A and B are shown apart, each in its own frame.
Chain A
Amino acid sequence: TQLLEQSPQFLSIQEGENLTVYCNSSSVFSSLQWYRQEPGEGPVLLVTVVTGGEVKKLKRLTFQFGDARKDSSLHITAAQPGDTGLYLCAGVEYGNKLVFGAGTILRVKS
């Protein structure tokens, strides 16, 4: 059983569409990170959220940390082929290790 559940597991959309991916847990996290991983490469950090209810924007990407610090979402507006990749959330339980979710594979078709 994954500590962090990500959904959907796979998403295939057309260029220009909007999408949201989710990261959920029954545990409370002191912080949560989102990474993107492209084929043949290692994950690259997109954002870290640390405050319940926090919203961060990175160009067309909007990240939200749940009020209870148990969940997070990533919303992409007007997706582009360059957004294609594996999106991983990773949470830090208080005093414990960073744990990764299984990821959401996003494919944006042109």
Chain B
Amino acid sequence: DAGVIQSPRHEVTEMGQEVTLRCKPISGHDYLFWYRQTMMRGLELLIYFNNNVPIDDSGMPEDRFSAKMPNASFSTLKIQPSEPRDSAVYFCASSHNRVWAGELFFGEGSRLTVL
């Protein structure tokens, strides 16, 4: 079984550029989550979707961040314009119901460096 698939694995960009991170969740999972991990702040929930609908985006840092889930098998996290403080590892995770009691399956992450 394929796990959660994220791309790109690594992205280096310059301040001001647009960044798009992509995620394919595990087939059949109802929930999709975007997390950001840094040394300073650990794992932070940015946004999560249920059946392709955004449920809680209170963790999105600011308007520069946006996320979409056009269908059950694809989601994007976009940063425009990017800033050096956005440098982090961004994880996508999916889960099958019982959202806050079930297991989260994480992708391998996208490491973003903004110069």
Interface residues of A (CB under 8 A from B): 2, 30-31, 33, 40-45, 48, 50, 88, 92, 96-98, 100-103
- B109 in the interface, Cβ–Cβ < 8 Å? yes
**Cα(A5)–Cα(B100), bound, Å:** 19
Task: Take A42-B91, A42-B109, A103-B42 as given contacts and tell me if A92 and B104 are in contact as well, using a CB distance cutoff of 8 Å.
Answer: no
| Beta-carbon nearest neighbor of A98 in chain B | B100
**Cα(A56)–Cα(B115), bound, Å:** 45
Task: Take A43-B106, A44-B106, A45-B104 as given contacts and tell me if A97 and B45 are in contact as well, using a CB distance cutoff of 8 Å.
Answer: yes
**Cα(A59)–Cα(B18), bound, Å:** 46
Tally the A-B contacts, defined by beta carbons under 8 Å: 44
- B108 in the interface, Cβ–Cβ < 8 Å? yes
Choice from A30, A42, A88, A101 contacting B101 with Cβ under 8 Å? A30
Interface readout for B89-115 with A: 1 if CB under 8 Å, 0 if not? 001010000001101101111000000
**Cα(A15)–Cα(B103), bound, Å:** 30
Can you name 20 extra interface pairs (CB under 8 A) apart from A40-B108, A41-B109, A98-B45? Answer: A31-B100, A42-B4, A42-B91, A42-B108, A43-B43, A43-B91, A43-B106, A44-B106, A45-B103, A45-B104, A50-B101, A88-B42, A92-B100, A92-B101, A96-B100, A97-B100, A100-B42, A100-B43, A102-B42, A103-B42
- Give chain B residues whose Cβ lies under 8 Å from the Cβ of A97: 45, 56, 100
CB distance from A20 to the nearest CB of B (A): 21
| Beta-carbon nearest neighbor of A45 in chain B | B103
